[in-house]
Amino acid sequence: MPRLFSAYVIVDWSAAAKPTTGADSIWIGVLKRDIRFRMAFESFNPATRAEAEVRLNAILDDLKKRGERALVGFDFPLGFPRGLAAALNLPGDEPWRATWDQLNKMVKDKADNTNNRFGVGSEINRRITGGPFPFWGCPPKDTLTTLQPKRSREHGPDDLPEFRHADLAAKGASSIWKLYYNGSVGGQAILGIPFVRRLKATRGDGVKAWPFETGFKALTEADLDGVEAVVAEVYPSLLKPTVAPGEVKDLVQVRSTAEHFARLDEANKLGALFGPPKGTAADVVLDAEREEGWILGAGA
């Protein structure tokens, strides 16, 4: 069987508020065939999210011209815990898309990386609970009545879940409600989801978001007919790559993640990862497809 993909693009995202490179910044790793049809890796370290958007579209333009289908992995959640769209009274029968559209309206992310992610978290808190919950985490100077530097309370049975099903399956993934400090995937998701939405809008139906548009199921070549790229959430920490002295951890992570999925694809084992882990309950599958998303490889 042929590979599902011929290129693997992994994006290590950043919610930085100013241009930055090196450690804890954006890294884009690309594993694709060179002129001798051997798999070769290259990386890019754009200083801003705006530069990253231009670079990623250029990468995908090149792959499309070459007739190569890409797996594009982002290291932030593409969906929120089940119930967010309903809590915000968002319209439509696709909660994930309604949330994407809402964030796109709210987020302001300038070319110099200046952004309003704390304001977005604060406003969502106001609409849901009227207080500093469920989002939390911000610099003291950004403290508001509806957003505090520290978590105000634990999640109760009547609250939105603290974790998605995928976060629990990944064992160790941070809560999306955390906007600041180490492991703050919440800020990355708030700024990253509008980025992915624009990517899809720019490139049209050739780009599919997994599992929302593909279904939470094993994928085959037939499923991807006419698809130029599949966008998926990845979690490089699942692989625990070894970082040599002097190497940038983020670069090592995008490289090792791309190589990992390429090896699975070569062995005809990657397609199965797009389906739920064995024994996954039907309601979990539905939550993943409708709103939460899933981490590629989590629970496998």
Tell me the C-alpha distance between 275 and 261, whole Å.
15
On the question of pLDDT at 221 being above 70, the answer is: yes
pLDDT at residue 244, as a whole number: 86
Tokens of 123: 């406003």
pTM recorded for the entire structure: 0.96
On the question of pLDDT at 1 being above 90, the answer is: no
84 within 8 A of 73, measured Cβ to Cβ:
no
Verify cis geometry, omega within 30 degrees of 0, for the bond prior to 81: no
- Which among 60, 53, 44, 9 is positioned nearest to 30, based on CA atoms? 9
Considering only 147-156, 174-183, 238-247, which range has the smallest mean pLDDT? Answer: 238-247
pLDDT in tens, 109-147: 999 999 999 999 999 999 999 999 999 999 999 999 999
On the question of pLDDT at 284 being above 80, the answer is: yes
pLDDT in tens, 16-65: 999 999 999 999 999 998 877 789 999 999 999 999 999 999 999 999 99
pLDDT at residue 54, as a whole number: 98
The three-point CA angle 58-60-64 to 5° equals: 120
- Distances from the Cα of 128 to the Cαs of 71, 77, 131, 140, in angstroms? 35, 20, 8, 22
Tokens of 287: 């939550």
